[in-house]
Structure 1
């Protein structure tokens, strides 16, 4: 949530424009539905107008999201004041001039296994924390999932497949021996993610340039784009395993280590007579304890399709953000837009619904490394920046998918 002091008149204007655009969209769609009811088909001019309004709504929402993301993205400020931290000072000397002696001494003192020759040098903790904060703003799945920082290469989490047997017993009745719990283990390995921003030597020589902020700014978008795609559909090979890459089964056949889905009943689309029923079924396929913090996840094209849906009372299921800094909602639940979700198609899973804090786990290996390369792209200096990140499902019952198929 953005603090009131962070809201500008421009932000308020963008939000008001979004509300006005949706009201126009709603009236036009009502007209379209009335035409279909009277004539069996809508006027092509109305369909064209609705498509243009749809695109305008998406563009307006994207502009508002961009302004809010920029406001939420913290900055490192200008040049450091006072006595600089030893690590920051040594790192600045390495980035600007390639002087690595200071960093070598610090990493030797810290018993670090890395070296300049094979893995670069660890960035100061302030830059690592800054990159993490920026990723939380830019990466939609990271923003709603659980995130854990680890020091090893793999995070292992035990879980109980079957618990000890329990029951009621009278005060003087015999207590039967209970079965032992059955434990299994989930493993989340951290894979290497890299970016390679380039700088001119003139930029590096400019003492007024905050190089720590520059590196964070250059790598955050690249990291966010790659990991966002992996968290949704990554195959787990040299990248995190996305939640759509796990085995999917109909909710009636759900079992642990599989993701349950609800079908729309219509190949490649919503039911023509009761299109909203599938969304209702999806919401109530999730247990009540998970629904409290549940969100919808879909891309903007799918969101455009559900924007047209109404409930039995004629009210639209999708509503624009209630205020600046808040998401749009669907059936009262927040909508998270992830462009890595698939489009609506026969057999596709374009909508996920669940408590992603309990559903998906992101693991960050502590330490972001930078290797300075002034040779490969002269006269530019490349900064090979790597971090290790993994991910996977930690609670298979905490989210469900909507499948656009007959069964």
Structure 2
């Protein structure tokens, strides 16, 4: 692959998205930027070995890191727009169409409430049509990094209770004629996941709502999806459980050598606020193998982009980069062969912080969605705008604490 001059990437990273909607071209630029990144980092490492640190190489590397992050964000934004389904822009205009959809459209546009009793809420407001609810959920899975890798359950009650086996029944080997002693029973625990209210309040003008070409259900879905995704992702990572889900970083953390059920284990880097200066990949390999084999099969790394930028520079003993880009647009990069999920709400690298998580989040973290998205139309509070107080109920918490491990940047 031919290497382009580095200044091309530093300029084009922010301009290409405005110039074209061609995701393939963006991805091609990203791959060229990664080649330039590797060449620059190799030169930086050579300079360090020669004890001739070059600050210009460090600055160039940071610019390339920023360019790659920008290109990746542009690719994800375009792919998200492309996957946005058409909910049927003319369904509200067709006579004899779905009765509830038509009635909901009339409620959103004009405040008319007839024929909506089946979807009414005693607290006020109305449930969005099922297709819109499904679309919001599908888009949240694409936009929310933790939701995309965790287990998700839909419930109809305010609290979801799940029994969990802490230990299985006692078993053993016996001969054909041996006495079968009674085995001990398995130990069960019940974990509760209360659902709490998440809201967004998009606004529209009356003239916008009067436009017959506007698909109001799709408009609401598009307006609330990003707000919902940002808020719930922050809660899934570090929520304290008070009027929000409990994040996996908020679980009680203990050194892996002292791990017990209900705690999330961590490994220390051995240095406060940093990876070891010598062979930094060793501690990451150790973290991978703190996870049992059954969990490693579906494991993901979770970190923010600033931490990822540091890991891009690390090589193995054979000189191969441990971070590798995705092979096609829309797929995740990998680190040490495992998928890497970028979650901006993960903490930055700092003393005693846990900026890197590794685990099988499908088994380790549970998200609970209460069925239905509720909309209250408010034409009075912000005249001349009409506000749409849109709510959904979400819960979440650690399901299997042995399925998630953390890397703590501390001396011990």
The TM-score range, normalised by the shorter chain, is over 0.9
Aligned pair partner of 1:65 in 73, 76, 79: 76
Match of 2:57 in 1: 46
CA contact (8 A) 1:230 1:241 kept: yes
Where in structure 2 are the equivalents of 1:156-235 lying within 5 Å? Answer: 156-235=161-240
- The CA distance in 2 between the partners of 1:38 and 1:316, in whole Å, is 21
Superposition deviation, residue 325 in structure 1: 2.0
Where in structure 2 are the equivalents of 1:119-134 lying within 5 Å? Answer: 119-134=124-139
- The CA distance in 1 between the partners of 2:311 and 2:332, in whole Å, is 15
CA contact (8 A) 2:21 2:78 kept: no
- The CA distance in 2 between the partners of 1:119 and 1:253, in whole Å, is 50
The aligned length equals: 391
- The CA distance in 2 between the partners of 1:237 and 1:151, in whole Å, is 21
Match of 1:262 in 2: 267
Aligned pair partner of 1:18 in 25, 30, 35: 30
Cα displacement string for residues 318-338 of structure 1 (whole angstroms, at most 9, x for unaligned residues): 011112221111011111100
Superposition deviation, residue 63 in structure 1: 1.3
Match of 1:84 in 2: 97
Where in structure 2 are the equivalents of 1:376-387 lying within 5 Å? Answer: 376-387=381-392
Superposition deviation, residue 102 in structure 1: 1.7
CA contact (8 A) 1:74 1:133 kept: no
Q: Where do 4+ consecutive residues of structure 1 move more than 3 Å?
A: none
Superposition deviation, residue 59 in structure 1: 1.0
Cα displacement string for residues 146-197 of structure 1 (whole angstroms, at most 9, x for unaligned residues): 1111000011100112222110111111111111222110111110001111
Superposition deviation, residue 87 in structure 1: 1.0
Where in structure 2 are the equivalents of 1:287-306 lying within 5 Å? Answer: 287-306=292-311
Cα displacement string for residues 282-303 of structure 1 (whole angstroms, at most 9, x for unaligned residues): 1111111111111111100000
Deviates more, 1:175-184 or 1:293-302: 175-184
Match of 1:3 in 2: none
Superposition deviation, residue 83 in structure 1: 2.6
Superposition deviation, residue 77 in structure 1: 3.5
Please state if 1:399 is matched with 2:411.
no
Q: SS of the counterpart of 2:165?
A: strand
Deviates more, 1:323-332 or 1:244-253: 323-332
Q: SS of the counterpart of 2:174?
A: coil
Please state if 1:240 is matched with 2:252.
no
CA contact (8 A) 1:73 1:133 kept: no
- The CA distance in 2 between the partners of 1:46 and 1:261, in whole Å, is 34
- The CA distance in 2 between the partners of 1:328 and 1:162, in whole Å, is 36
Match of 1:56 in 2: 67
Please state if 1:311 is matched with 2:316.
yes
CA contact (8 A) 1:74 1:134 kept: no
Query: In 2 relative to 1, CA 366–9 (structure 1 residues): closer, same or farther, beyond 3 Å?
Result: closer
Q: SS of the counterpart of 2:260?
A: coil
CA contact (8 A) 1:73 1:137 kept: no
Please state if 1:341 is matched with 2:351.
no
Q: SS of the counterpart of 1:266?
A: coil
- The CA distance in 2 between the partners of 1:378 and 1:128, in whole Å, is 28
CA contact (8 A) 2:197 2:394 kept: yes
Q: SS of the counterpart of 2:341?
A: strand
Superposition deviation, residue 62 in structure 1: 1.3
